[in-house]
Structure 1
Amino acid sequence: MNRRKFLSSTGLLLAAKSLPALPLPPFTPKPASAKADHALRIGPCTLDIGRGVSIKTVAYNGQVPGPLLRMREGVPVTIDVTNSSDNADIVHWHGLAIDSYNDGAMEEGSPMIPAGHTQRYAFTPRPSGTRWYHTHAMAGDDLTRSTYTGQFGFLLIEGHDHPARYDQEINLAIHHWGPSFVPMVETMRADSSNMPLTTGSDVGYKYATINSHMLGSGEPVRVKEGQRVLFRLLNASATENVVLALPGHTFEIIAMDGNPVPNPKSVEVLSLAVAERVDAIVHMNAPGVWILGSTLEKAREMGLGTVIEYAGKKGAPAWKDPAPSTWDYTQFAGSHVAPNPDDSFTLTFRDIGPLHGSKFDTWTINNKSWPKIEPLTVQKGKRYRLVFRNGSGDQHPLHLHRHTFEVTRIGDKQISGLRKDVINVMPLDTVEVDFVANNPGDTLWHCHQQLHMDYGFMQLIKYAD
């Protein structure tokens, strides 16, 4: 169903009747009358993110990020979500291999939660690792909705393995606030017809936070010399990719999107596309007061940073620009060639400019846009390769629901072992990922930038009967 038509409908009943018949959840861990393991409430809240800066938004349980949810891998859970906002909404459990009904994407058949109603989600959480939860509603041209709001939180699935030793864990979520539409700067890249690749409007922001505060506000992250600190970093922005550094320190990358990397490596600078997560160990061996923040001065001035304060140290936080570097996924991957897939799909995406009087670009996959795009069909148990070809001047963080994929090629370089659920495809680049069709049910893949997703950049994958 077209998410635009659903949310613009004046009657929820009419919209509900137009949905396909929904399958029942595969199990019910607790009777409906029993108390859920977790409870979330979607509702309005006001955040004081900086001195004299208040943000009115929508959040879970009146806080940003939402409550930290810890679960055990393989242990069934129930979560009651009550919608106390004015609009129908939905929660997506990002990175989990669960059924389509509970996944939290209307395109897959998950039900929207009408205003004033409660939805019970019931599933068995897997795989282990740093996952997250967030709204999966449409925003369109309403920048007070969906991922522009504070509706996001960490979801940690604890398994039996403990891949790293650490003394303290710190969860940091990045978000941008005060969105508005701004003219999009046309890229200098051109296609074979010498026409600009990017036109229309984009989203700009006034402020940025790590967790709920701008740089210089809120409490610092307090550490001790000699500690090994596990930082779980999440980019919960609606549209903005970020690059971070902590002067005087390096990040030992041990996991991406919750999955251990084949080749842990220390870097001075790390990149987080929209919806990506990185688990990094930082050795606290440079006593002082530092800024962990964006490598861009303008972004730090907007608030994108937090203070790291060693015990016994005071004073103004220090910043030092890191040496120039290029983010390279391949350095964390294996070098052997991945197995050949059973089949592959080549998916070329680009923007075709505003259509039908819209001021926003329409995005296409093989020249078609959601919802007028045929699904990809797969067979259970087979290995498939998705060849992502970026024909635009934008970066695109691509997310596959309900499955984890293995990155098998970036540009001309073949790799293996790097398992993710979001991959950022650079302008005019090609990336290949493999997944095993081992979780039957409708499965969505899309660009995680809200504006791109809302304007065509989505496609379903269906399992053959």
Structure 2
Amino acid sequence: MNSNCTLKASLLIAITTIGALRAAPTETRSESETVKLFARESTITVLGRKAKVAALTQSNEEQGYSPEEVKGFHVEVVNQLPVPTSIHWHGLVLPNLMDGVPFVTQDPIPPGGSRRYNFPLQQSGSYWMHSHYGLQEQQLLSAPMVIRSPKQSKAADAEFTVMLSDFSFTSSKDILKGLTGKKSAMNGKNRDTMSDSQPMSTAGQKESLVVQQWDETSKRLVAREVQAAAPDIDVKYNALLANRRTIDDPQVFEAKPGQSVLLRLMAAASATNFFIDTGKLDATIVATDGEDVQPLKGNFFQLSLAQRLDLLVTIPETGGVFPILALGEGASLQTGVLLSTPGTKIPKRPLALRPQRKMGGLDNTQEIHLRAKEPLADKPVQRSLPSVLGGDMMTYTWTINGATYPNRNSLNVKEGERVELVILNKTGMSHPMHLHGHVFEVTEIDGQKITGAKRDTILIPPKSTIKVAFDANNPGVWAYHCHILYHLATGMFTVLKYENADTKYWRPDGTPSELENPLELNNATAFWKEMTVGLIAPSEPAISR
């Protein structure tokens, strides 16, 4: 008992000291207005088996945070994990030092420490948050974030958020070792377990695959079966998750006959792109990455890793049960949720009734038909920056402009410029490229000029070239990288740097330490809960729901 008291006293001193590491808030906020988000351990059930993962929850166990645009963003991240962490607010246009990228915009949050994030909100819609430290994203240290506004509340009669993830019983550390050829860590494991971390490739052999196509007659996006070579994928996963649940135990959302329903789909996976199958329900894309687009109809959609897709559907007057499936690219894994009307009997295995066919690769079919509802103002490009994506599965080294990170290379801009980013993918794999702190517009796909969707993440298919444009109006040092976690970890990362930007936190030499501090899930949260009781006060959500 005395040793516990001594350790608690030490922790109190440590936590007080750590407070000096917090970024100064942009404005003073009372405790009641600040939501505490705890990075902690959690347990989920995957195919009937208990698994330890990480989570970002409020004190009432609610996942993530949904602020109101007019009230701004006011969060304190409390690290209850045994290793450092750092949380990024994906898709938000925010002050640079609030972006949550370790060794770029801040120092990592140490175990037992916390950091506050306060800034005004400029957007509303579907966003998400995730760890940007090491491989913690694979351990599900992520959560949804829907920014509320009066416009958003009028979008449909009902709305539901569906966060998609990929899951392996193999640790993220061992997955990376397998991909980079360090097989010694896999010794003693059976073949089934080892296969979870092997790169997958069919070397060009054709097979029956389901892909997305544009139906010119009906002007819709549809599914078609073709003979083609399967896409390369990095990891063979044990399961895909929808709101942390597997296909054998889907979440059921209740909606009334005749209601319009907005589905906020978020691809929070680490290495999986998705196809979204709405089955009998016709759906309309109304927003991508939180930005409104001209309506685009169909029942089979592409959702690249880290992107968000808002789909509007209408429940038939006859009622029933309507599966919404998410299918993994290059695999036959699937997950999903159910839309059900009151009183409808739900089958025992409602999502397993559909044949598990193998999916093909994502491409530009959907992207080339998307149009921004409010395009960027017409303005000539004042700076064009090359972004050449390189690397291969054999060496498992991934580059931007011929270099692997960490390095001190940067894409340089001046405030006020209209900037064009020319992204050329020279590899045989797709890369979902994410630019922090900005919204860009897709302006050209393989030579075809368009006034495309506004995004923060764009998928670049193999051998494809896509141009995007944005206004350089948010000074700082901003991360730009492939969002496949294992590509990022092996070099496909750089920064967009404004002239005269403050670079005090940009320390590329610190990046390797992230992989040297892997998150080992071993009931550490219970330890921190016990040892910090009375030291970190619980908080209530700032917004009533």
Q: Offset at 1:73? A: 2.3
Partner Cα separation in structure 2 for residue 181 and residue 219 of structure 1: 28
Counterpart contact for 2:266–2:309, Cα < 8 Å: yes
Counterpart contact for 2:124–2:152, Cα < 8 Å: no
Q: Offset at 1:108? A: 2.3
Report the secondary structure of 1:451's partner residue. Answer: helix
1:48 is the counterpart of 2:45: yes
Amino acid across the alignment from 2:468: V
User: Deviations 1:77-128 (Å, cap 9, x if unpaired)?
Assistant: 3211111111100000111111221100124222211011111122222222
Q: Offset at 1:298? A: 9.5
Report the secondary structure of 2:89's partner residue. Answer: strand
1:408-419 alignment to 2 at 5 Å? 408-419=443-454
Report the secondary structure of 2:369's partner residue. Answer: helix
Q: Offset at 1:425? A: 0.7
Q: Offset at 1:313? A: 2.3
Partner Cα separation in structure 2 for residue 63 and residue 362 of structure 1: 40
Question: Of 225, 229, 235, which residue of structure 1 is paired with 2:267?
Answer: 235
Which has a greater percent of strand?
1
Partner Cα separation in structure 2 for residue 362 and residue 280 of structure 1: 36
Aligned to 2:297: 266
User: Deviations 1:427-447 (Å, cap 9, x if unpaired)?
Assistant: 100111011110111111100
Instruction: Give the share of equivalent positions with the same residue, in percent.
Output: 27
Q: Offset at 1:396? A: 0.7
Q: Offset at 1:68? A: 4.2
Report the secondary structure of 2:450's partner residue. Answer: strand
Partner Cα separation in structure 2 for residue 351 and residue 74 of structure 1: 44
Aligned to 1:19: none
Aligned to 1:342: 382
Counterpart contact for 2:368–2:450, Cα < 8 Å: yes
Aligned to 1:125: 121
Partner Cα separation in structure 1 for residue 241 and residue 125 of structure 2: 24
Counterpart contact for 1:93–1:134, Cα < 8 Å: yes
1:215-234 alignment to 2 at 5 Å? 215-234=247-266
Amino acid across the alignment from 2:380: N
| Cα distance change of structure 1 residues 49 and 308 upon mapping to structure 2, 3 Å threshold | farther
Amino acid across the alignment from 1:40: L
Counterpart contact for 2:301–2:366, Cα < 8 Å: no
Q: Offset at 1:131? A: 1.3
Which one is further off, 157-166 or 389-398? 157-166
Which has a greater percent of helix?
2
Aligned to 2:423: 388
| Cα distance change of structure 1 residues 220 and 352 upon mapping to structure 2, 3 Å threshold | closer
Amino acid across the alignment from 1:460: V
Counterpart contact for 1:216–1:306, Cα < 8 Å: no
Aligned to 1:437: 472
Question: Of 313, 330, 344, which residue of structure 2 is paired with 1:282?
Answer: 313
Aligned to 2:9: none
User: Deviations 1:121-169 (Å, cap 9, x if unpaired)?
Assistant: 2222222221111111112xxxxxx111121112122235348541111
Partner Cα separation in structure 2 for residue 330 and residue 111 of structure 1: 39
Larger radius of gyration: 2
Extract unaligned runs of 5+ from structure 2. Answer: 1-20, 171-195, 206-231, 501-545
User: Deviations 1:357-413 (Å, cap 9, x if unpaired)?
Assistant: xxx611111211111251111110111000000001111111010110111011122
Amino acid across the alignment from 2:312: I
Counterpart contact for 1:64–1:151, Cα < 8 Å: no
Partner Cα separation in structure 1 for residue 60 and residue 286 of structure 2: 26
1:372 is the counterpart of 2:419: no
| Cα distance change of structure 1 residues 63 and 183 upon mapping to structure 2, 3 Å threshold | farther
User: Deviations 1:167-190 (Å, cap 9, x if unpaired)?
Assistant: 11100011111154114426449x
Counterpart contact for 2:157–2:260, Cα < 8 Å: yes
Partner Cα separation in structure 1 for residue 398 and residue 384 of structure 2: 22
| Cα distance change of structure 1 residues 284 and 26 upon mapping to structure 2, 3 Å threshold | same
Report the secondary structure of 1:398's partner residue. Answer: strand
**What is the count of residue pairs matched by the alignment?**
420
Partner Cα separation in structure 1 for residue 198 and residue 354 of structure 2: 31
Counterpart contact for 1:29–1:78, Cα < 8 Å: no
Report the secondary structure of 2:66's partner residue. Answer: strand
| Cα distance change of structure 1 residues 62 and 155 upon mapping to structure 2, 3 Å threshold | closer
1:327-338 alignment to 2 at 5 Å? 327-333=365-371
Partner Cα separation in structure 2 for residue 258 and residue 112 of structure 1: 28
User: Deviations 1:28-84 (Å, cap 9, x if unpaired)?
Assistant: 2327xx45521111111111244x222211112389996242223253432111111
Aligned to 1:244: 276
Amino acid across the alignment from 1:77: F
Root mean square deviation, CA, Å: 3.2
Aligned to 1:194: none
Q: Offset at 1:352? A: 5.0
Partner Cα separation in structure 1 for residue 105 and residue 41 of structure 2: 26
| Cα distance change of structure 1 residues 153 and 64 upon mapping to structure 2, 3 Å threshold | farther
Partner Cα separation in structure 1 for residue 156 and residue 138 of structure 2: 33
Aligned to 1:135: 131
Q: Offset at 1:292? A: 1.4
Amino acid across the alignment from 1:345: L
Partner Cα separation in structure 1 for residue 25 and residue 124 of structure 2: 20
Partner Cα separation in structure 2 for residue 329 and residue 297 of structure 1: 16
Report the secondary structure of 1:226's partner residue. Answer: coil
Partner Cα separation in structure 1 for residue 465 and residue 61 of structure 2: 34
Partner Cα separation in structure 1 for residue 340 and residue 199 of structure 2: 39
Aligned to 1:143: none
User: Deviations 1:312-369 (Å, cap 9, x if unpaired)?
Assistant: 3225337667999974112221699964311101211111566xxxxx6111112111
Partner Cα separation in structure 2 for residue 173 and residue 63 of structure 1: 20
Report the secondary structure of 1:127's partner residue. Answer: coil
Q: Offset at 1:289? A: 2.2
| Cα distance change of structure 1 residues 26 and 82 upon mapping to structure 2, 3 Å threshold | closer
Amino acid across the alignment from 1:59: A
State the structure with bigger RCO (CA 8 A, min sep 6), 1 or 2: 2
Partner Cα separation in structure 1 for residue 310 and residue 200 of structure 2: 33
Question: TM-score under structure 2 normalisation?
Answer: 0.71
